[in-house]
Amino acid sequence: MEDIRRLISDQAGFIISHQLPSGAIPWYRGGITDPWDHVECAIALDLAGQHDEAAQAYRWLRDIQNTDGSWYSTYLDGRAQDLVRDSNYISYVATGVWYHYLFTRDPDFLRAMWPMAERGIEFVLGLQQPTGEIYWSRGSNGRAWPGAILCGSCCIWQSIRNGIKAAESLGLQKPGWHAASEKLVRAVREHPELFDKFGEDDQHFATTWFYPVLAGVIQGEVARRHILRRWADFVVDGWGCKCVSSAPWVTVAETCELIMSLCLIGEVGRAKMLLEWILKLRDASGGFKTGIRLPEQLIWPEEKNAWTSAGVIMAASAQAYVGG
């Protein structure tokens, strides 16, 4: 397999080539930017050592944050498009800010970005229910959508925990955040009936399968058994992970997230195998194809997304870290 450092460097270059002067990182040239994938790209840039570009990505988020602490779901040329405010998208900014600090140890950055991250987490906690789950979103009319999504909730839990770490590094205490995170993780682990109750996972998404492991909600041997139990439902030999179990569409992003999950549970051999498989979906332009429909081997969609390259950087970095 090609040198991992070269792979990471090339994908970082692909992401940077899409970053706008404002700092926004759209999916592709002329495409939308959403806060979650934007943060994913910024984290990947930090992993690749491109800290200035990552910092600029967070400054863009700070500049466009709504006064209530939220962000809209999508932006195009700096203008909001989808006015839904997604709790997972919003909380993930705290994860990105914390990771940037871990990479750079820049206290000035953390102090400057803390108010943004704090307001975002507070907005999200305003969607938490007495039973612990956090509703998915608040619409443009201000009303909460009355349901929680499992995979997003796992990511939100991780983001709250990272927000707590950022606060503690600044000498701040967030007991309310601690309590909220405990309520949320208890709901995820013990009350699955609270999630996806409106059929959000009817197609059986791969993210619902592996996100409890990727976010650290379940760990150790329990996590390992959880992943292996449904391996055959999602993994196509020689290609990677399907986006949904019911459709023969293998995607690079889901495969990369599965690779990271495997690294967390010590399944390094499987992780290395999956990374080798997805290299065949690298495009001549330097990026990666989003996915492939099998058995026809039909590439779809045509666009090469910056966030797909971000996933590759994260997966390659995780494998390198565990020694695969």
Q: How confident is the model at residue 323 (pLDDT cuts 50, 70, 90)?
A: confident
Nearest to 33, CA basis, from 87, 68, 75: 75
Which of 168, 202, 236 finishes a domain? Answer: 202
Is 289 part of any domain? yes
Same domain, 245 and 322: yes
- 287 has pLDDT over 80: yes
Q: How confident is the model at residue 284 (pLDDT cuts 50, 70, 90)?
A: confident
Percentage with pLDDT > 90 across the chain: 96
Tally of domains within the chain: 2
Same domain, 262 and 180: no
- 318 has pLDDT over 70: yes
- The whole-model pTM stands at 0.97
CB 254 within 8 A of CB 235: no
Range of the domain at 236: 203-324
Same domain, 56 and 184: yes
Mean pLDDT for the stretch of residues 99-103 = 99
Mean pLDDT of the chain: 97
Same domain, 269 and 121: no
Nearest to 84, CA basis, from 102, 98, 72: 72
Please give the pLDDT value at position 1.
52
Same domain, 247 and 165: no
Same domain, 219 and 314: yes
Same domain, 189 and 45: yes
Tell me, what CATH number does 118's domain have? 1.50.10.20
Between 323 and 57, residue with greater pLDDT: 57
Which of 157, 176, 202 finishes a domain? Answer: 202
User: What tokens appear for 71 in the block?
Assistant: 């962000």
Is 151 part of any domain? yes
Strands 249-251 and 291-293: antiparallel
125-137 pLDDT per residue, tens = 999 999 999 999 9
Same domain, 216 and 195: no
Q: How confident is the model at residue 285 (pLDDT cuts 50, 70, 90)?
A: confident
Which of 170, 202, 234 finishes a domain? Answer: 202
Is 45 part of any domain? yes
Q: Is 239 helix (H, G, I), strand (E, B) or coil?
A: coil
186-226 pLDDT per residue, tens = 999 999 999 999 988 877 999 999 999 999 999 999 999 99
Is 152 part of any domain? yes
- 324 has pLDDT over 70: no
- Determine the Cα–Cα distance for residues 34 and 39; give it in Å rounded to an integer: 9
Query: Residue holding tokens 């023969």?
Result: 248
Same domain, 144 and 64: yes
Mean pLDDT for the stretch of residues 266-280 = 97
Same domain, 286 and 222: yes
Please give the pLDDT value at position 174.
99
Same domain, 62 and 189: yes
Cβ-based burial of 220 (10 A; exposed 0-12, middle 13-18, buried ≥19): exposed
* 9-25 residues labelled b (16+ CB within 10 A) or e (exposed): ebbbebbbebbeebbbb
Is 5 part of any domain? no
Is 21 part of any domain? no
Is 10 part of any domain? no
141-174 pLDDT per residue, tens = 999 999 999 999 999 999 999 999 999 999 999 9
Please give the pLDDT value at position 200.
84
Cβ-based burial of 218 (10 A; exposed 0-12, middle 13-18, buried ≥19): buried
- 119 has pLDDT over 70: yes
Is 121 part of any domain? yes
38-89 pLDDT per residue, tens = 999 999 999 999 999 999 999 999 999 999 999 999 999 999 999 999 999 9
Residues 6+ apart with CB under 8 A from 48: 8, 9, 11, 12, 313
Same domain, 40 and 173: yes
